[in-house]
Chains A and B, each alone.
Chain A
Amino acid sequence: MNLLLAVLALSCAPQDDLRRKIEEVLPRPEEERWLRVPWELNLMKARAESQRQAKPLLVWIMDGNVLGCT
């Protein structure tokens, strides 16, 4: 039984190792607070909402869409 567990642990090890390494690179929650903003990607839809809610638009335009690129 101990040998089987050891073999299973070894067979899982590369996948766990890959997952751990990836997790260390992924953004932390505090690095993605701005993604909690409900950004609309369709400017025409945003205009319609702005009209409906009587709120101004906040439009963020950068080189590369901010919702995917740096």
Chain B
Amino acid sequence: MARRAGADFVPAAGSVERLQPERYGHAETVSTRWFVPMAKKAMAESEWKDFFAGFGTLQGVYVCGPDGTPYDYTNIHFTSEEEYAKVRADFLKWMDRGLARHREKPPAKVEVGAKEIERGAPVGAAADTAVVRVFNRVRMPQADHPANRGVGRDHFWIFGDEVRELALDSSLPRPMVARLVRFQLLDNTRNVGVAFNDQEVRQADFSTSVIRTDGDVRILRFTGTFLAEREDKDNDEKAGVLGRLEGEIGVDVAKSRIVRFRAYGEATGWGDVKRTGAPEGKYPLVFALVEVDDPVSRAVPPFWFGASPVWEPIYRKSALALWK
């Protein structure tokens, strides 16, 4: 599938939060003005035609022309090994169908100017923001839902003022700790995890120590314990996480830059059984956090930063009620 996607198509990826302003609240852009009409038409002409009305979101996979002609739409959903195998097999046939439709009815010629391309650039991390990849796994090989055997993913941003504070003070800025516990140390394995509000975090005790200095780079070791729980009233269940995180941060104090961020966490998770198919009862989670600096990683915001204009400032200036 990966080979075909690159060879037979021009592949593009994005987040529905940015591309569906009527639902998620972000501003209209040159990209949304092209994407939304194409996507709605694609859904209406596919076997998922009632999907949008029922689900309300334009997420999915599309084959289309640059002029906005839709050729096909599908979505990826599975809750068992059998469904997963079927999704994989059907996806190649779906690609073939989209290609055939493109051949039968080629798109009209379009001119995409340099200004449009410039305006289509994704919103990414500021130059002084440090970007960290966050991965998590459910350490339970026998879990029923096949997605429990996958990897949860997100980005974690440490903003420029926090990096400068780290360089001066060698302690973790409170908004950074709050952001970690509320928005990042979540079980993202099957789907994006639901963030905790400021009152749902019961514990966030982190400490640091300077373990050595290599020239301008100060290496901090940190450890922390965290506990958060929320009510999921829609599904009549509670969901939470209790865990411990340990790691090292290398801060170039002369340039106020994070040059290294490595952390490992072990936790117990619970809940989200009805919402996403998490294991029943309490289950083991592990986390890994690693710094990144490539253009793609810097261009893709953390889920909760990009979720909507409402969440962006809350992510940016995270706080905890227990600190008041």
Q: Considering only CB atoms, which chain B residue lies closest to A28 in the complex? A: B151
Given A25-B264, A56-B64: A41 and B10 interface contact (C-beta under 8 Å): no
Task: Report which B residues bind A (CB closer than 8 A).
Answer: 1-2, 5-6, 8-17, 19, 30-31, 34-35, 39, 57-66, 71, 95, 98-99, 102, 106-107, 109-110, 112, 116-117, 119-122, 133, 135-137, 150-155, 188-192, 221, 246-248, 262-264, 286-290, 296-297, 299-303, 306
Q: Is the CB of B11 within 8 A of A64?
A: no
Q: A18-B246, A51-B110, A64-B154 are in contact. List 11 more A-B contacts (CB 8 A).
A: A34-B5, A41-B12, A59-B35, A62-B16, A63-B192, A64-B17, A65-B122, A65-B306, A68-B153, A68-B302, A69-B155
Provide the A29-68 mask, 1 if CB < 8 A to any CB of B, else 0. Answer: 0010110111111111111111101111111111111111
Q: Quote the shortest CB–CB distance from B224 to chain A (angstroms).
A: 14
> B98 to chain A: which residues have CB within 8 Å?
56, 58
Interface contact B286-A40, CB-CB below 8 Å: no
* Known A18-B264, A22-B288, A60-B61: A68·B246 in contact at CB below 8 Å: no
Q: Would A47 and B66 be within 8 Å (CB), given that A22-B290, A56-B99, A58-B10 are in contact?
A: yes
Question: A25-B136, A44-B116, A69-B192 known; A18 and B2 CB under 8 Å?
Answer: no
Given A55-B9, A63-B57, verify A44-B15 contact (CB < 8 Å): no
A interface residues, Cβ below 8 angstroms from B: 14-15, 18-19, 21-27, 31, 33-34, 36-51, 53-70
CB-contact partner of A40 in B11, B119, B288, under 8 A: B11
Picked from B31, B286, B303, the residue with its CB within 8 Å of the CB of A64 is: B303
* Closest chain A CB from B309 CB (angstroms): 16
Does A49 contact B10, Cβ atoms closer than 8 Å?
yes
User: B136: which A residues are within 8 A, CB to CB?
Assistant: 25
Which residues of chain A are near B289, meaning CB under 8 Å? 22
Most chain B CB within a 10 A radius of its CB, from A36, A40, A60, A62: A62
Closest chain A residue to B124, Cβ basis:
A41
CA distance A37 to B16 in the complex (A): 20
Give CA–CA (A50, B71) in the complex, Å: 14
**Docked pose: A51 CA to B10 CA in angstroms:** 10
Minimum CB–CB distance for A56 against chain B, Å: 4
| B153–A70 CB distance below 8 A | yes
